[in-house]
A and B are shown apart, each in its own frame.
Chain A
Amino acid sequence: MMSTDKNAGNVPEKKEKKKMGMKAKSRLSNTIIYVVLVLISIVWLTPFVCIVLQSFRTESTWMVGYVIPQKWGLDNYIKLFDSDFVRWYKNTFLIAVVVAVVNPIMVLCMSYTLSRFRFKMRKALMKFMLVLGLFPGILGMIILYRILKDLGLTQEHAVPGLILVYCASAGMGYYISKGFFDTIPMSLDESAKIDGANRLQIFIKIIMPLAKPIVIYTILTAFLGPWGDFMFAKYISFGNPKGMNVAVGLASWLTPDQIDVKYTMFCAGGVLVAIPVTLLFLFLQRYYVEGITGGSVKG
């Protein structure tokens, strides 16, 4: 964020020969843009404001057609702590932490290799992973469920099963960090080699410190993934509340037979999930933006 703003400031100012008409015109267009931006912000923020407000509504628990609660209170939050939500939260947190450690290791190994080494099967490997990634994951999930079930890692014990699924194929998401490694000059590697370093030392001592932004990006996305994953978690927990993550658990409160009792609790749960994730995100936003733009700018 910071760096992009700085860049914008560096743009040379236009020559001061503008006519008065031009200035008025640009003031008008700026005003229009402000109006549009304000409208956009309202549209984008409304759902979240609504969710927060509804989580404090205590006069009823079902869906209503108004936003501002008539009676305010913390009832929904208090009820959350007596429900399965605590368990879901713990599950999700545990999964997210483990995945945030293992997943980046897989991704970095893969992307560093594809960026830095030239070996016989390299192009073929990249094509293979490209095609593999196009296979509908939902179908693979059906098989994985049966395999994990044989291993006893579903339903109540879905947490280790989910960790396994999230981490095992992580290497396929090498694309963005490979783009980043590609931008680090090869001459660094070569001079280190002349100084007698082997590839392992180059990887750990030279490249890794330079790759800090992409490492943080990878950890951040790996940590955030499990909080939002719905399909795999739903399938592998298979309706057993003990093995659910927050997404599956909270979604189960919106089924027709639950929604009238649990709707405001869903909102409160949503807020409790969103707060840590949003804070973390805002805190590390710079790395996220760098990662997501770095990858695409490289192309």
Chain B
Amino acid sequence: MGRRKKENQPASDLFHKAGFIESFVKGDIWTKLSFVILGLGCFVRRQIARGLFLLAFEALFIWYMISNGSYWLSMMPSLGKQGPTKEMVEVLDEMVETTTYHDNSFQILLYSILTLFLIAAFIMTMMTSVKMSYDAQHKLESGKKINFFKDDIRSLVDESFYKTLLSLPMIGITLFTFLPMVFMILIAFTNYDGTHDGFANNLFTWVGLQNFETMFSSSGGSGSYFRIFMGMLGWTIVWAFLATFTNYILGILVAMMINKKGIKFKKMWRTILVMTIAIPQFISLLYVSKMFSKTGIINGLLVNTLGWLKTPYDFFGTPLSARIMVVVLNIWIGIPYLVLIATGILMNIPQDLYEASRIDGANPFQQFRYITMPYMLFVTAPYLLTSFTGNMNNFNVIYLLTGGGPINTNASSAAGSVGHTDLLITWVFKIAQGTDSLYYMASVIGIAIFVIVSIITLSIYNRLGSNKNEGDMA
């Protein structure tokens, strides 16, 4: 709905657009009143369609607030007053217990967040209304043409086309990613769990910072949340590091082998690897985890066929071998992607660099170390970063391969069972899905992961050279 200028206007005018405060201060009485009565300024300047649109939004907003919004907001501080009540009712000469449901904490929290979103949108619209009104006022005063309905529509497929394009994806992201995120963060300040599910059993309510205290108090010894968290954070980072860089280096090496001059059937080698990407990951992960199980093919081969082992070896049995297995199997999954990516980039390295270095007497290893790797690192830095954080939250690989096992008996008191290959993210899932469904603790730990990953990403992201040269055409 923003005001756009015509191309043939002077450049100085093109870029001046008054902000809300300037508009409000400099605006006439109609502009000032537009803050309360949306679209008033537009009506005065005969931009009827715009005015109607704004006014209709205000009317809808007020109607919603009176009919629903105020109720949700009034319930928000308590998250519901009356839980389900049970009473005995006589049905066909028998006493039957029936439950009457009243408030629903989950719904209350959800709708009060939505109402807050709506209020924020309304305040922004109020400000827009003032800005629009002042813009029109200013233009009329300086004798310029203002936009009418037809111009606005035309603008939506032209200068303001981006608003049209963004509307649908942004609504989706707001409702299906942003809203759940806000909700989940708020859960950390409640006692929402299996026994306080907010409807069928008990209501849940705000508990302040209590859950964070539980999280960060180290009482409870090795079974406390904090100790488990720190131990698991260590493994999560080690895993992310190993998973990212083993794949990266080995992937580049394989790509270089395939691309080496004189190697034939390049296309065939690549296709073999690419095929493994096509096969859905859950099939390969589940199947491979079964191959290495005690009764699986690998043990069958080692024990029966080759006779190297007397009894089947439990690859996922001890903490160390289970951890090695997930890293190795992750290489198996990850290398095909890296080969594809690396192939494209290797082609782009200027060949004269290699020529020059060979004349200077560099051996292949030195060429790899001083030409290939720096070039690759520079170009793939954003990829490395996202794949590192992706691996920190790599739920599928751990969940499908080991389920987090083998169980860590030392660290399994506070939050149900915890395994040696569990990452923070699979632990969170276990907490939320365990017998007690401690959603609030899952949320606290989720927030901790979110903060850690964000710090890593944002502190590195801004320094990446390859990010800065994004063309800034205005």
Which of B94-102, B219-227, B375-383, B414-422 forms part of the interface with chain A? B375-383
Main secondary structure of the interface of B (DSSP, over half): helix
Contact of A138 among B275, B395, B470 (CB under 8 A): B395
- Is A45 in the interface zone, CB < 8 Å from B? yes
Contact of B176 among A150, A165, A199, A228 (CB under 8 A): A165
Residues on the B chain within 8 Å of A44, using CB: 272-273, 276, 332, 336
Residues on the A chain within 8 Å of B367, using CB: none
Whose C-beta in chain A lies nearest to the C-beta of B466?
A: A299
Whose C-beta in chain B lies nearest to the C-beta of A112?
A: B165
- Is B134 in the interface zone, CB < 8 Å from A? no
Minimum CB–CB distance from B388 to chain A (whole Å) comes to: 12
Q: Are B288 and A186 in contact (CB under 8 A)?
A: no
Q: Are B280 and A228 in contact (CB under 8 A)?
A: yes
Given A106-B168, A199-B158, also A274-B286 (CB < 8 A):
no
Whose C-beta in chain A lies nearest to the C-beta of B450?
A: A135
Given A50-B291, A278-B279, A296-B344, also A1-B267 (CB < 8 A):
yes
Q: Are A113 and B283 in contact (CB under 8 A)?
A: no
Minimum CB–CB distance from B436 to chain A (whole Å) comes to: 14
Whose C-beta in chain A lies nearest to the C-beta of B197?
A: A146
Minimum CB–CB distance from B438 to chain A (whole Å) comes to: 12
CA distance A140 to B278 in the complex (A): 28
Whose C-beta in chain A lies nearest to the C-beta of B443?
A: A139
Whose C-beta in chain A lies nearest to the C-beta of B277?
A: A281
Within 8 A of B (CB), among A237-283: 246-247, 250-251, 254, 263, 266-267, 270, 273-274, 277-278, 280-282
List residues of chain A with CB under 8 Å of any chain B CB: 1, 4-5, 7-8, 11-12, 26, 30, 33-34, 36-37, 40-41, 43-45, 47-48, 50-51, 63-67, 105-107, 109-110, 112-113, 116-119, 129-132, 134-144, 146-147, 150, 164-165, 167-172, 182, 186, 198-200, 203, 224, 227-228, 230-231, 246-247, 250-251, 254, 263, 266-267, 270, 273-274, 277-278, 280-282, 285, 288-289, 292-294, 296-297, 299
List residues of chain B with CB under 8 Å of any chain A CB: 106-107, 110, 154, 157-159, 161-162, 165-166, 168-170, 172-173, 175-181, 183-184, 254, 257-263, 266-267, 269-284, 286-288, 290-291, 293, 295-297, 299-301, 303-305, 332, 336-337, 340-341, 343-345, 347-348, 351, 379-383, 389, 393, 395-396, 399-400, 425, 428-429, 432, 439, 442-443, 446, 449-450, 453-454, 457-458, 461, 464, 466-467, 470-474
